[in-house]
Structure 1
């Protein structure tokens, strides 16, 4: 049970002010191996999940997009192709190491003209009201300390008619998938992290953070409470991942 001074860090209960530091430590540790680990964790399927999320975002030429918790830039590179030279994508992350890794990767790809970078906290975005046509957060909301504040902040910076896209690990829709996924997450994933990234604890936290993340219907309700409308979600891979979408009217 949490109170106003504590929150969850995986399965542990920690002081609220400590979580940001602890999450930063996790992603500082895994930044250089993040892309490789994503491929190993999802057997490469994360690339399909991200493409589906971008399709559901309905981003057009000239749009302004905020890629929150953008990490190493996978979603930013997909959005960049859609917004074109007249649009802009802001790759944003609270973690400087992840942001540096993403920036270097995108520059190496030659993607420089319409991408900006910002180190931000999703709970208090430093952008003006009604700035973006789309705000996307991919595999990052579960690491945010105050998810309700983050969703309200995303709603604030959206233009009327804009949409929030939340791509996140979620909860399997059937018992068999849940059982297999639990075995993989808690038995195999930390061991893969230990071998590949030399960091078993960080990948144990990542597995635990997925289990503590709100279920699909609960997250939909949280988005509605933040002011978003026409909220809906799309399960992928039997609910292992879900895309939530909501609009600012």
Structure 2
């Protein structure tokens, strides 16, 4: 009787102490918990996993690349050209040996203005200047290259290269550029802080960071008109002119999710830039932010 009882106890203990075999249910639960813990961000008004946003943004610009300039003119009634001219005036490059990195500049809008600006400066005659036009989307870069051919402009003393790169992980050396510009691009990145940190890294001491981006309208009455136009007119316009609705729906939503002028200024300061300031254009529809690596 005692031997039987001992044997029974040993069997029970053996069962309780045997190695656990994970069940499929347990594995599924662990995967669900892992997925749930992945960081999230916004894609317009939609909440997505961080690792999904860059793919979605890439698809947006892949779809609109061929009609990008047409839609810019239509949506802003051509005012975007004035904004970009003011942007270059604020950069005001002088002297020779300037090295500019124009990030998210695939179509060449800022870079071509920059080169034209340099051509009109007598003190830049005979000096060598360089511009790197970089974008994460090769389709946008291809549009810029074709535009450059159509312009049929001479490079004079300027060297130009085109680099497909992620603004959050730039393939350039430290302290390699004297100016960094990004126009209507930083709004689309996943991690603004990483982009600003990379901009700071690649700039030379004394180098300047300059951003042109859609921002937040400061006047309540104008804001109401602007919101009505943005949500009621821009997506249908995209459908009619570019056969694309969702990319332009994303555009107007992403503007509302971008930090306001003061918040973005603080992010630039946190990246290490000094003398940070901003200037509102068209009541804050867009803003120029500037900072120096000192």
* Same fold per superposition (TM over 0.5): yes
The separation in 2 between residues aligned to 1:126 and 1:58, in whole angstroms, is 26
The separation in 2 between residues aligned to 1:181 and 1:111, in whole angstroms, is 37
Find out whether 1:102 has 2:144 as its counterpart: yes
Among 223, 235, 240, which residue is 1:178 paired with? Answer: 223
The separation in 1 between residues aligned to 2:128 and 2:71, in whole angstroms, is 34
- CA drift of 1:111 comes to 4.2
The separation in 1 between residues aligned to 2:242 and 2:99, in whole angstroms, is 35
The separation in 1 between residues aligned to 2:85 and 2:129, in whole angstroms, is 19
The separation in 1 between residues aligned to 2:46 and 2:204, in whole angstroms, is 37
Which has the larger share of helix? 2
Tell me the equivalent position of 2:42.
Answer: 8
Tell me the equivalent position of 1:73.
Answer: 108
- CA drift of 1:110 comes to 2.3
- CA drift of 1:82 comes to 3.6
Tell me the equivalent position of 1:191.
Answer: 236
The separation in 2 between residues aligned to 1:40 and 1:227, in whole angstroms, is 37
Tell me the equivalent position of 1:88.
Answer: 130
Aligned pair count reads 248
Using the size of structure 2 for normalisation, the TM-score is 0.82
Q: 1:80 to 1:4 in 2, by over 3 A?
A: farther
- 1:56-78 deviations in Å (ceiling 9; x for gaps): 11222431001100021110101
Tell me the equivalent position of 2:53.
Answer: 19
**Bigger CA radius of gyration:** 2
Unmatched tracts of structure 2, length 5 or more: 1-36, 120-126
In the TM superposition, 1:122-137 aligns within 5 A as 122-137=167-182
- 1:106-128 deviations in Å (ceiling 9; x for gaps): 12212463211000100111111
In the TM superposition, 1:135-150 aligns within 5 A as 135-150=180-195
Spell out structure 1 runs of 4+ moving beyond 4 A: none
- Greater CA deviation, 164-173 or 57-66? 57-66
Q: Secondary structure at the match of 1:72?
A: coil
- 1:50-106 deviations in Å (ceiling 9; x for gaps): 011111112224310011000211101011124456101111000010011011111
- Greater CA deviation, 236-245 or 108-117? 108-117
- CA drift of 1:231 comes to 0.1
The separation in 1 between residues aligned to 2:287 and 2:97, in whole angstroms, is 27
Find out whether 1:29 has 2:63 as its counterpart: yes
Among 195, 210, 216, which residue is 2:255 paired with? Answer: 210
- CA drift of 1:5 comes to 1.2
- Assess if the C-alpha contact under 8 Å between 2:38 and 2:49 holds in 1: no
RMSD, aligned CA: 1.4
The separation in 1 between residues aligned to 2:101 and 2:44, in whole angstroms, is 27
Unmatched tracts of structure 1, length 5 or more: none
Tell me the equivalent position of 1:46.
Answer: 80
